[in-house]
Each structure stands twice: as structure tokens, then as C-alpha cells.
Amino acid sequence: MSQRKIKNIFVTGKIDPAFIGDSIAKHSSKTAIGGHSIFMGQVRRDELDGKFVSAIEFTSYEAIALEKMNLIREEIFDKYPLNCLHVHHSLGLVNAGEICLFVFCSSAHRKPAIDACAEIVERLKAELPIWGKEIFEDHTHQWKENN
Amino acid sequence: MSQRKIKNIFVTGKIDPAFIGDSIAKHSSKTAIGGHSIFMGQVRRDELDGKFVSAIEFTSYEAIALEKMNLIREEIFDKYPLNCLHVHHSLGLVNAGEICLFVFCSSAHRKPAIDACAEIVERLKAELPIWGKEIFEDHTHQWKENN
Amino acid sequence: MEIDIISFGKISEFIKNQRVDITGISDTDALKIYLEKTFPEISQMKYKLALNENLIQQNTQISGNDLVAIMPPFSGG
Amino acid sequence: MEIDIISFGKISEFIKNQRVDITGISDTDALKIYLEKTFPEISQMKYKLALNENLIQQNTQISGNDLVAIMPPFSGG
């Protein structure tokens, strides 16, 4: 499954729930699909010493991130019988409560979509050069760490 | 986690992608959530001997289905640290390409939402008295079987 | 003694909802034998019973006017 | 020999993008020693290098005008 065009996964700011709804609607013409699995990351209003996170500012080394995501995409398509795979990640400021990651996998039967979606989320967090800066309400910040 | 009110999971006809988008949007005020996992079932235009499925007609023994789903919901809340859990299933006719099942789990961190969502889909298919009648374009039918 | 029978899915195509006299039958194990004799199609397939809106997991007493549901394997989702 | 250094995330707060003279350094292993001496903060933390937009997995030759990126652990998603 080589030579797929490199897609841009990045969007500026939050990912709008209406965009997600529209993305789901677009799959109604793909009548070989029987199951869709979606993961979304949402910015938490975490507390640290009485201060609350008001937003996360995401930055990336985009050239490497897009190439790496393209490789992950190819490996996932080789491993699972997927009909569709869409990945969107925010750059810039995303407020608490807003969505910063949207992974959408579709397949004829449920299991490949579910397994592929979970695997992409893990790989994306571990392998893509993206950084989140947690901005507190008092404008101080700390750098997000993935577990 | 007992004494949750029994919720009605059934909707007549397809589940609209815009409803799903709205449902996602409603979670922006729940700022303890960090991850959402969604599964959707979509009616496939399967072929059998040259005939294609045009729709599935769903029926249920609703009293038992709702009570069973309530029990599953309580067991899932006991097992996973979820913030939210929503389940919607179609009754009546759902055309090929339309969505007939929508399971939506949310938690502070991604793993409980992802695991709970997958487990609910498995249990719902195995344990809820719901039947799908696959209607072909020539108005003949066969009864759906889950694997 | 009479009970009400309802059926679902594929089984509803050959067992209509009806009231039946099951005099002499007092539990669900005996009822199954009666049903498979009366409706031979179900003896060829998997099915489950519900009694008064409860899924039957083990042999259970039946009383007059009980509601028995005959259900093929579930196929929701 | 001069190369360009860029940095990301937390590391960008104390290593600004800059052109540095690394005469005598010919590979990424040697460059790491140079960087940790020049910027002691990174010797206390995990970081990765990229050379000309490729993640460095093993020791790699460096040439003049190469672009080296210094990156803290990823935290996307």
C-alpha cells in the first residue's frame, strides 16, 4: 500500500464537532463499511497547585510529523482491512473542553476499525513530533507529558 | 453505581450524523474528559446471489433490551472510570449507508474510554434482544446473523 | 392452564403471537418439549425463552396467564 | 564547519534557533556531547535529534550546513 499521497493532518485551533459530524455523514455513500471507530482527544481543565489549565498550545516539527504519519498510515493499511482512515490534529491554541485530536477508522466489520483506531492513537502519541504547552489561567505554563 | 435511571436507547430509523456531532459538542462543558471513544454501526449494502441489501429493519423485545442495557451500563461504570456513556440503537428501517448504532464513551484518559466502548459493543450485540431483517432491493429478505 | 406466547425475529414468521392451553405443563423445560413438538422448525435452530420479560437461564416454574417469548439468536448492532 | 540548530517544545525555551560552528565534530554522537556541554539543561532530560528532517536512530555523519533539530519527548494527542 505504497505511494499514497502525504496528507496534511494539521488544523489550526480546535477541531469542530460539526466537522466531525460532516465527516461521518460523508461515509454514507461508502456502503461496504459496517463499522466506524472514532477516537477524540479533548483538552482537560487539569489542576496544578490550585491553578487550572485554560488551553493547550500545540506545536510540531511538521515535515517529520507528516512523513511519520504517512508511514503509520501505510503500515496500518497493510495490517488491517480498512476502508477509510482519517487523522486530524490541532496546532496552536485549543481551549479546555475543545477537541484537539480526531482519528476515524472504518471497515466492513467492527474489529479492524476498533483495533486500528486504538493502535493509531498509541503510535501517534509516541511517534509524532508534536508538543503541547499547557497554559494556565494565570498565563503561566507547563509542558504536557504523555504517559 | 446502582439506581441509575433506565435510559431508552432506541431511536426510530437511522441515527443522524448531525445528532452525533451535536452529542460530541455537548461534552465541551465536561472539562474533566480527556478522551472520547465512539463506535458506530453502519448498514452494509451486502450482496447475496446478485441481490443487494437495501435496508435493515430492526425489531427488539424492548422491555428486556432496556433492562439488560441498564445492567451492562452499571457493570461498565463499575469496571471503568468513565465520565460519560451514551448508547443509541435504531429500530425500524435503516437504509444501506446509514448509521444504526452509536456508542459513545468518555473518560479522563484514553484507555478506559477505548476499552469500555469496545466491550459495550460486544456485549450489546450478544446480550440485547434485537433482530435485524436484511431487506434486499427486490423486497425479499434474510435475517441478519451476528458473528 | 393457558399462557400467552409471543415470538420475535425469524421465529415470528412461523409462530404467531397466540394464547395456548398448556394444561399439564408446569415448567419451562417441559414447555420447550411442547413447543418443539408443536412448532418443529424451532427444534432445528437455536432459540431462547423469556418468561414475563425475564430471560430464562435455567428451568423455571410457569403459572397460568404467564407471558412466554420465543426468541432466535440476537442480531442487533 | 557550521550547522543550523533548531529546537522544539520545552527545549526551545533555552536553546534558540541558531547557527553554530562545530569544527572538529563529524557525527551526531560527538554533537550530543558538544550540545550537552554547551546547554547543560538537556543533559538532565530525554531528547532526540533530527538531522535534515530525519529522526536520528543511530550515530550519523554530519556535514556543513546540515540542519539539526533538538526535540524533547513528544506530547501530542
Identify the residue among A15, A29, A42 best suited for mutation to test binding to B, counting B beta carbons within 10 A and taking the highest. Answer: A42
In a domain, A1, yes or no: no
Is C74–B131 a contact, with Cβ atoms under 8 angstroms apart? yes
In a domain, A88, yes or no: yes
Q: List the subunits that have 3+ CB pairs under 8 angstroms with C.
A: B
In a domain, D76, yes or no: no
Is B132–C75 a contact, with Cβ atoms under 8 angstroms apart? yes
In a domain, B7, yes or no: no
Q: Is the dihedral of CA A25, A26, A31, A36 positive or negative?
A: negative
Beta bridge pairs of residue B37:
A39, B105
In a domain, C20, yes or no: yes
In a domain, B34, yes or no: yes
Instruction: State how far the Cα of B53 lies from the Cα of B33, in Å rounded to an integer.
Output: 39
With cell 448509521, the residue in question is: B99
Strand ranges inside chain C, DSSP E? 2-7, 18-21, 48-51, 54-55, 67-71
In a domain, A8, yes or no: no
For residue B85, pLDDT beyond 60: yes
For residue C32, give its domain range.
2-71
Q: Which of residues 48-67 of D touch A (CB under 8 A)?
A: 50, 53-55
Nine-digit cell at B118?
Answer: 469496545
Nearest chain D CA: its distance from A134 CA (Å): 11
Instruction: State how far the Cα of A144 lies from the Cα of D8, in Å rounded to an integer.
Output: 13
Nearest chain B CA: its distance from A65 CA (Å): 21
User: Which residues on B lie below 8 Å from A109 (Cβ)?
Assistant: 147
CB count within 10 Å of CB A59 equals 16
Give the mean pLDDT of B102-110. 98
Averaged confidence pLDDT in chain A: 96
Give the mean pLDDT of A2-6. 64
In a domain, A73, yes or no: yes
Give the mean pLDDT of D27-45. 96
Burial readout D13-40 (b: 16 or more C-beta within 10 A, e: otherwise): eebeeeebebeebeebeebbeebeeebe
Residue A84 contacts B, CB cutoff 8 Å: no
For residue A71, pLDDT beyond 80: yes
For residue A145, pLDDT beyond 70: yes
Residue B4 contacts A, CB cutoff 8 Å: no
Give the mean pLDDT of B68-92. 98
Averaged confidence pLDDT in chain B: 96
Which residue in D has a C-alpha nearest to residue A145's C-alpha? D75
For residue B61, give its domain range.
15-143
Instruction: State how far the Cα of B32 lies from the Cα of A47, in Å rounded to an integer.
Output: 10
Tens-place pLDDT, residues C11-56: 999 999 999 999 999 999 999 999 999 999 999 999 999 999 999 9
For residue A1, pLDDT beyond 60: no
Identify the residue among A61, A71, A121, A128 best suited for mutation to test binding to D, counting D beta carbons within 10 A and taking the highest. Answer: A61
Number of domains in chain C: 1
Instruction: State how far the Cα of B31 lies from the Cα of B40, in Å rounded to an integer.
Output: 24
Instruction: State how far the Cα of A87 lies from the Cα of D77, in Å rounded to an integer.
Output: 11
Quickly state the pLDDT bin for B1 (edges 50, 70, 90). very low
In a domain, C31, yes or no: yes
Give the mean pLDDT of D65-73. 98
Nine-digit cell at D1?
Answer: 564547519
Residue D30 contacts A, CB cutoff 8 Å: no
pLDDT at residue A5, rounded to an integer: 76
Q: Helices marked H in D1-77 — which ranges? A: 28-38
Out of B67, B89, B143, name the one closest to residue C76 (CB): B89
The complex's ipTM works out to 0.95
Burial readout B34-66 (b: 16 or more C-beta within 10 A, e: otherwise): bbbbbbbbbbbbbeeeeeebbbbbbbbbbebbb
In a domain, C48, yes or no: yes
Quickly state the pLDDT bin for B6 (edges 50, 70, 90). confident
In a domain, A10, yes or no: no
User: Which residues on B lie below 8 Å from C71 (Cβ)?
Assistant: 61, 129
pLDDT at residue A4, rounded to an integer: 56
CB-count burial class (<10 Å; 0-12, 13-18, 19+) for A52:
middle
Residue D76 contacts A, CB cutoff 8 Å: yes
Number of domains in chain A: 1
pLDDT at residue A51, rounded to an integer: 97
- Which CATH number fits the domain that encloses residue C14? 3.10.20.30
In a domain, D77, yes or no: no
User: Which residues on A lie below 8 Å from D68 (Cβ)?
Assistant: none
Measured CA to CA in angstroms, residue A67 lies from A124, B139, D53 at distances of: 12, 49, 10
Decide: C and B in contact? Rule: 3+ Cβ pairs under 8 Å: yes
In a domain, A133, yes or no: yes
- Which CATH number fits the domain that encloses residue A91? 3.90.1170.40
Q: Which of residues 54-83 of A touch B (CB under 8 A)?
A: none
Kindly report the length of chain A: 147
